[in-house]
Amino acid sequence: MADTVYLNGVFLPLAQATIPVLDRGFMFGDGVYEVIPVYNGQAFRLDEHIQRLQASLAAVRIRNPLTTVAWRAMLLQLIAENKALQDQSLYLQVTRGVAPRDQAFPPESVAPTVFAMSMALQTPSTALVQSGVAAITALDIRWDRCNIKAISLLANVLLRQQAVDEAVAETIMLREGWLTEGSSTNVFVVAQDKLLAPPKSQHMLTGVTYDVILELAASHGIAHLVAPVSEAQLRSADEIWITSSTKEILAIISLDGQRVGQGQPGPLFQRMYALYQDFKNQYMRHTR
């Protein structure tokens, strides 16, 4: 982890960044967050991440403490402060602030707590991209507002630990027989040469990476369909992919111990992985 973080208007060393124990993030998980990848000093899809942050804040009725311009400026400064890191993963959190412990909203005068830090971005190794990874399924035990990127992640923590306990990379969730997403990823399926993705809904987070993948499919003539994906479609898929800002795209080659397709990353995965890397490199050249 790099040293300089941002807390409530000030850049300071991580070791000096402290918050009161009555912060509602600590008491109730009452806050929202973002994770933004930075390649070679360039934030990837920064505006989209800021927009999603603003949507999360509005959904939970936390006052947006900064303007779009100020969010941008703060994050760009954080990147610059941590430029010793080649690629970075920015973590940004806003809570409803510090107030006596009561579930109801505090008075308007209570300022949200804003924290941001930079960590080394660790995208999957080439070996992992080439081999693919295993996943398990589980019932989606989360709430009905999964489109909000909330810091209250207890269900995700338990689901992710299930994957760790079974020595696999991800837990893929099913709600009433329909695919939602992974504990920290979106999920795509390939069947009969067509890419399938569950539609945006309150049962999944709209990943910034999810949008990029669908844009790439559209602009490169890859047959795709955004529609609910059933458990049967998931289990009989030729390919399954997981996507996120830090994992980019990874192929799932085994699901609940059953081989997916040929048991190796499939041809459409290889194509999309290459398109994604090209797009990323191009984007970084254009925004420089």
The neighbouring-strand residues paired with 2 are: none
The neighbouring-strand residues paired with 93 are: 33, 115
Residue among 3 and 48 whose Cβ is closer to ligand PMP: 48
Given a contact cutoff of 8 angstroms between Cβ atoms, the answer to whether 237 and 207 are in contact is: no
Residue among 95 and 243 whose Cβ is closer to ligand PMP: 243
CB of 36 to ligand PMP, least distance (A): 9
149 is catalytic: yes
Round to whole Å and give the CA distance between 42 and 19: 29
Q: Say which of 149, 194, 200, 247 is annotated catalytic.
A: 149
CB of 28 to ligand PMP, least distance (A): 19
Residue among 98 and 179 whose Cβ is closer to ligand PMP: 179
Burial (CB count within 10 angstroms: exposed 0-12, middle 13-18, buried 19+), residue 117: buried
Residue among 30 and 181 whose Cβ is closer to ligand PMP: 181
Q: Which residue is nearest to ligand PMP (CB)?
A: 207
Round to whole Å and give the CA distance between 168 and 160: 10
Residues contributing to the site for ligand PMP (CB under 6 A)? 35, 181, 184-186, 205, 207-210, 243-245
CB of 149 to ligand PMP, least distance (A): 7
CB of 71 to ligand PMP, least distance (A): 16
Round to whole Å and give the CA distance between 134 and 253: 6
Given a contact cutoff of 8 angstroms between Cβ atoms, the answer to whether 45 and 98 are in contact is: no
Question: Where are the alpha helices (H) located in 63-221, listed in sequence order?
Answer: 68-81, 126-131, 154-165, 208-219
Write out the catalytic residue numbers.
149
